[in-house]
Amino acid sequence: MDRSRPGLRARWAVGALAAAAMSLSTTTASAATLEARTLEAYQAYVRDVLQRFAESDGRTFLWADQHPDRRRALLDGEIVVEAADGDGILNVPGGLIHHWIAAAFMKDVALEEMLEIVRSYDDYPRIHPPVVRAELISQDGETHRVFMRLEKSTRFVTAVLDTWWLTRHQRPSQDRVYTTSHAETIQQVERAGRSDERRLPPGTGGGYVWAASTVSRFLERDGGTYVEFQTLGLSRTFPRLLGWLVEPIARRIGAGSVKDTLAELRRAAAGRPPGAGSPD
């Protein structure tokens, strides 16, 4: 994989995760180093999520179908967002796991149209503001390797991350698709855009996002397509003395960013002619 290429292509849901985790930078930009125990706790958590995700496929495919009020809200045009576990931010030794789930119903949008948008990586910077560049690096059937640069600014700090992703699309039947995406490498970029920019080693830097994954479901039904996704991310802990202030901000930004991502996808679907490909 050529990791020196400047272009980007990436999963459409990751911008929400980055915005949530980068809310830490409102109070601190000090260095943080990822510990082995922290990464191991995150990887164990993700394995459990993926197991539950696979098991639910054989029972109720959609999270929305698990509660009638949730499905009614989607059919009424709402975007439903909830903490996927606890209150959305979980403590692990040396870090925090951010885990959110969101769903929307894309009325009058066929599954194939939705998948075309999701796979049009070149369009991500136009659709999702945290993505500044995106590029498909390689493809083997329904397995994609993607490179993406994320940028998020707060009042005090601008954080730039270069990320490499492994994405797998699976289609158990004609009306549904599910996708898993994992960041193989995340590196913070210093002096981004300058001639002397450099990538920090993985697991170092501000600790805004050390690891990330997404799982998504798409189902064509009821005259449109249901879209659900979960975002999972690992970040540094909150500052000891300011945690009470930062945590509710991070939670609000995390939920809001996931919702914004689906709203951006909906706008892209509304403005896309049926069967249209990516613009040249």
Higher pLDDT, 30 or 199: 199
Residue among 215, 232, 185, 248 at smallest CA distance from 54: 215
Using DSSP's 3-state secondary structure scheme, residue 196 falls into: coil
Beta bridge partners of 145: 138, 166
CA pair distance 102, 94, nearest whole angstrom: 27
**Tokens found for residue 90:** 């979980």
Task: Return the H-helix or E-strand segment holding 81.
Answer: strand 80-83
Q: By mean pLDDT, which of 14-18, 95-99, 202-206 is the weakest? A: 14-18
Please name each of the domains of the chain with its CATH number. Answer: 14-270 (3.30.530.20)
Structure token digits, residue 203:
């697991």
Mean pLDDT of the chain: 81
Residue 21 has pLDDT above 50, yes or no: no
- For residue 227, give both structure tokens: 């879209």
Distance CA 185, CA 34 (A): 13
pLDDT tens column, 261-274: 899 899 999 885 44
Give the count of beta carbons closer than 10 Å to the beta carbon of residue 66: 11
CB neighbours of residue 122 within 10 Å: 16
Query: Can you give the pLDDT at residue 14?
Result: 42
**Cα dist from 37 to 41, 89, 209, whole Å:** 6, 18, 16
pLDDT at residue 54, as a whole number: 79
Task: Give residue 240's pLDDT.
Answer: 64
Q: Residues near 162 by Cβ (< 8 Å), separated by ≥ 6?
A: 147, 148, 149, 186, 187, 189, 199
pLDDT at 249: 67
* Banded model confidence at residue 154, pLDDT cuts 50, 70, 90: low
Residues 42-65 have a mean pLDDT of 84
Tokens of 148: 């993406």
Q: How many CB atoms lie within 10 A of CB 126?
A: 13
Give percent above pLDDT 90 in the chain. 50
Token pair for 146: 């993607």
pLDDT one-digit tens code per residue, 214-258:
999 999 999 999 999 888 989 888 766 555 456 666 777 777 778
Residue 139 has pLDDT above 90, yes or no: yes
pLDDT at 19 over 70: no
**Dist CA 120 CA 136 (whole Å):** 9
